[in-house]
Amino acid sequence: MTLVHLIAAARPNFMKVAPLYHELNRLDWCEPVIVHTGQHYDANMSDNFFDDLQLPSPDIHLGIGSGSHAEQTAGVMTAYEKIIVEQKPDWIIVVGDVNPTMAVTLCAKKLLVSVAHLEAGLRSGDRSMPEELNRLVTDSIADVLWTPSPDADENLIKEGVAVSKISNVGNIMIDSYELLREKIQAESVPAKYDLQSGKYGVVTLHRPSNVDNRDTLTLLADYLREVSREIPLVFSLHPRTRKNLETYDLFERLDGAPGMQITDPLSYIQFMGLVRESKFLITDSGGVQEETSYLGIPCVTLRDTTERPITISLGTNKLAAPDQLMDCISDISQGKWSKGQRPPLWDGHTAQRVAEDLYRRTTNVA
């Protein structure tokens, strides 16, 4: 039996791990084990996702929690090293680009354990993003690189990664959406917020570059107030963003804006239920850029760069500065926005392709 550790740390990891867990769990040659590092720990950032995604409680919980980058990285390495030595997994699968993605990879490779990275090869080119450093380190030492799109393959090849390590498997996030599509549709979420289908926007923001600096966050809050005067907005508030809005005395100002509803982080089913019927998204999330492209919903990404350029070239995503927000919303209202198309292999079958590739590499079957 091949022992496979699946590493889950933070909110965006759970939708990447879930479809793969379900797929590996039904196969007789491997035993998937979920390892939660504990980076996200509030029920609305973790447990609710396990429930929605029909995942069992993690087999192993490292309980690392919040901290500085070095604290999180060192905490995961110190705790997980012992587990690797005890359990001797045949494969460790890391996903995405959070601190534990890199920490686990580094720790595992020093112990000569095979690591596969799901969602490999994405590059924003912006090394001031912690995630970009995590991606670069992880991809330079992982044994297998499962990519979501051809641009990711090209990035890896440019960096000198052997082609034999790379498999383009598509986008695993879409598997989670497809797994729960019927439940998401059945929930009729907009009505719970007194909203009509297609007549509201959804907001998520959590990047340090947008929410950690007082001036930037104040500016963004003011632009969002302006948008909410034109069209209702639901703002799903990430804990980092809530903390900073409160610290900078901006929370009441935003919460009191006409047309603005602020919510705690939503469970996956509730969030996607809102997203699928929305008119547009305003975000800086990685996953949301992908989900909106898949669903054909306009997405305004408040960033200078994206590691997911296919959401712009093929999908419905556009990068914007805060002062371009009102123009973007006006373009969306006038239908002047790309309708987009679904990127290749974003089809709900990525977990199956990953499992097949893992089997091939485990058994060395050509």
Active-site residues: which are they?
206
Rounded CA-CA distance 62/305 in Å is: 33
Beta strands in the chain (DSSP E): 2-8, 30-36, 60-61, 91-95, 114-118, 144-147, 166-168, 201-204, 233-236, 260-263, 280-283, 299-301, 317-319
Rounded CA-CA distance 105/35 in Å is: 13
Q: Which does 37 bind (CB under 5 to 8 A by kind): ligand UDP, ligand UD1, none?
A: none
* CB-nearer residue toward ligand UD1: 99 or 270: 99
Check residue 15 for interaction with ligand UDP (CB under 6 A): yes
Q: Which of 80, 271, 280, 346 binds ligand UDP (CB under 6 A)?
A: 271
Check residue 346 for interaction with ligand UDP (CB under 6 A): no
User: What part of residues 174-213 is at the interface with ligand UD1 (CB under 6 A)?
Assistant: 206
Q: What is the CA radius of gyration of the chain?
A: 20
As given in the structure block, the two tokens for residue 72 are 């999180």
Check residue 285 for interaction with ligand UDP (CB under 6 A): yes
Q: Which does 279 bind (CB under 5 to 8 A by kind): ligand UD1, ligand UDP, none?
A: none
User: What part of residues 57-96 is at the interface with ligand UD1 (CB under 6 A)?
Assistant: 66
Stretch of 61-69, 193-201, 281-289, 305-313 lying at the interface with ligand UDP (CB under 6 A): 281-289
Check residue 306 for interaction with ligand UD1 (CB under 6 A): no
* CB-nearer residue toward ligand UD1: 121 or 232: 121
Task: Say what the alpha-carbon torsion angle 331, 173, 54, 31 is, to the nearest 10 degrees.
Answer: 180
| 359 residue type, one letter | Y
* CB-nearer residue toward ligand UD1: 65 or 256: 65
Using an 8 Å Cβ cutoff, are 20 and 107 in contact? Answer: no
Q: Which does 291 bind (CB under 5 to 8 A by kind): ligand UD1, ligand UDP, none?
A: ligand UDP
Q: Which of 146, 251, 268, 294 binds ligand UDP (CB under 6 A)?
A: 268
As given in the structure block, the two tokens for residue 286 are 């990685």
Q: Which does 193 bind (CB under 5 to 8 A by kind): ligand UDP, ligand UD1, none?
A: none
Report how many residues bind ligand UD1 under the rule CB under 6 A: 19
Cα–Cα distance list, 62 to 66, 141, 332, 350 (Å): 12, 23, 44, 28
Beta strands in 272-354 (DSSP E): 280-283, 299-301, 317-319
Residue 58: strand pairing partners? none
| 47 residue type, one letter | D
Check residue 10 for interaction with ligand UD1 (CB under 6 A): yes
* CB-nearer residue toward ligand UD1: 238 or 279: 238
Interaction mask 179-208, ligand UDP, x per CB under 6 A: -------------------------x-x--
Using an 8 Å Cβ cutoff, are 231 and 200 in contact? Answer: yes
Rounded CA-CA distance 303/320 in Å is: 6
Using an 8 Å Cβ cutoff, are 191 and 361 in contact? Answer: no
CB of 186 to ligand UD1, least distance (A): 26
As given in the structure block, the two tokens for residue 317 are 């995503």
Contacts of 113 (CB under 8 A, 6+ apart): 84, 88, 89, 91, 92
Q: Which does 45 bind (CB under 5 to 8 A by kind): ligand UD1, ligand UDP, none?
A: ligand UD1
Position with the least CB separation from ligand UDP = 287
Rounded CA-CA distance 196/188 in Å is: 10
CB of 212 to ligand UD1, least distance (A): 9
* CB-nearer residue toward ligand UDP: 19 or 89: 19
Q: Which of 100, 148, 286, 309 binds ligand UDP (CB under 6 A)?
A: 286
Q: Which does 91 bind (CB under 5 to 8 A by kind): ligand UDP, ligand UD1, none?
A: none
- Residues at the contact surface with ligand UDP, assessed by CB under 6 A: 11-12, 15, 204, 206, 236, 265-266, 268, 271, 285-288, 291
